[in-house]
Structures are given as C-alpha cells and as structure tokens.
Amino acid sequence: MEYIKDASLVFDLPLYELDGSSFMSRDAYGRDCTDIGALWTPRGRTFDGTDDYLIVGAVSDFNFIHDDMVFSVGIWVKLTDYTAGGLQVFCDSCSGSSSSTGIIFYYSGTLDNIIFYAYTSLGLGLRTVEIISSSNIIADNDWHYVLVTGDGTNGALYVDGVVDTGVTETITNRADAGNTSFPLMIGAYNEAPAGGELTGSIGEFRIYSRCLNPLGGQHNYLATKERYK
C-alpha cells in the first residue's frame, strides 16, 4: 500500500530517505530544503530541542493554506521531551509579530495537545486567527501520525488515522490574504533559535492542496505505519 500520490501532493518530504545538509522534496516541485543541525537516521531526522531545524522552499510556496483554508498537512513525529511545558513546533511560516501571516502547527506541553493556527494579516498590527486544536495527547515517547485538514469551512485533526471527535472547528476562506514573511520552517519557529524547538524526530512530512477525507487520512496512516513500529 502506498500513501496518496496525486496532483494535490504539493510537498513530499520522506526524511528517512534524505540525508546530507541540503536536498530536494520528492514532489513534482522539487523544493529546496536546507538542514540546520538535525541528524539523519533511517527513520528520519532527529532534533535536539536547542538549535536544529529545516528550512523549506520559497516564501510564497504554501500561501494557499492560510488563503483558502483548503489543505492537508500530515507528519510522522516522535516527541521525546515533555518537561519543558512550552511549544514544540512541527512547522511554522510566520513570526511572532501581531501582523504576521502564515501557519504554525505544534504540540503544546502546557496544554498537552496539538494545535494548528492559520494567521491572516489585516495590517495596522492586526490579524485574524483560525485555530484547530486537539485533545489527543501524544506525550508517550512513541511515533504518531498527526494530520490536520481544512475544507474551507471546517477543520479536522487526526492522530494515527483516527479523527479527534473533540475538534469541531469552523474556519473561514480568506482568499488573497497575502504572503507569508518566511519560508516554511520544520522543527522550530521561523525566528529560530528563539524557542519552540522540537525535541524528538520527524520521519516524513506531506502537504496536500486539498482536504483529505477520513478515509484518505486513514489510508496514509496505514500505508506508512510499518516504518515506525
């Protein structure tokens, strides 16, 4: 069984196959990726929680996420430190500025849950926020497949192929919301090193320009889970 590969797969990063300090994504776009400190292993990249991260693509590559809110972002991740009580960032394309535009997907050690934000700048230091959060705790030192989706109206979050029924988020299509200020960062805030650094491993990372339905999310989990047993 293979994970879903179609024209909507705009970013495919099987980190378990990609060693070296620079490489390209395995999608049709071949996006440039730069590794800063994260060590390669046969299961992906390990991040030390201090100063390891990946820089991916160009600034405008993933604007469609916060513009249209029609997307799917899936990641295999293993967190190994839950004591910090702060954030461990899966990916980020915005800054801490109150007028920044972009997305951030992370684990909250304070709340013990997974949260996805999409920020839209309104100018004058103002911005709107779309939030999809999960009550599903993954603080068990094991691998998990985490998937967040939006269909332009509703958001959903899945852990290991199962939808979190506690997430019933209404979202808004904000077409032409503007560009992000940063490329996508994996494993830390875009202003790294400045907090949010992930302690653990990321095996693979994919972004689709469509909303995967529950069967699609479960399919991708089942197609890839053997690698992380």
pLDDT tens sequence across 157-186: 899 999 887 665 666 655 444 556 678 899
Q: What is the Cα–Cα distance from 63 to 183, expressed in whole angstroms?
A: 10
CB-based contacts of 229, cutoff 8 Å, min separation 6: none
Topology at the third CATH level for domain 9-228: Jelly Rolls (2.60.120)
Structure letter (DSSP) for residue 34:
E
Residue-averaged pLDDT of the chain: 83
pLDDT computed for residue 130 by the predictor: 63
pTM: 0.90
Q: Which parts of the chain register pLDDT below 70?
A: 83-85, 95-100, 120-131, 136, 166-181, 191-195
**Residues 29, 168: Cα–Cα separation, whole Å:** 33
DSSP state of 38: P
Q: What is the pLDDT of residue 178?
A: 53
Report CA-CA distances (Å) from 102 to 23, 38, 47, 68, 73: 24, 23, 23, 12, 14
What is the rounded distance in angstroms from the CA atom of residue 111 to the CA atom of residue 85? 8
Which candidate, 225, 184, 15, 195, places its Cα nearest to that of 88? Answer: 195
Q: Can you give the residue ranges of every domain in the chain?
A: 9-228
Residue 226 DSSP class? G
The DSSP string of 87-152 is EEEEEE-S-SSTT--EEEEEEETTTTEEEEEEEEEEETTEEEEEEEE------SSSEEEEEEEEES
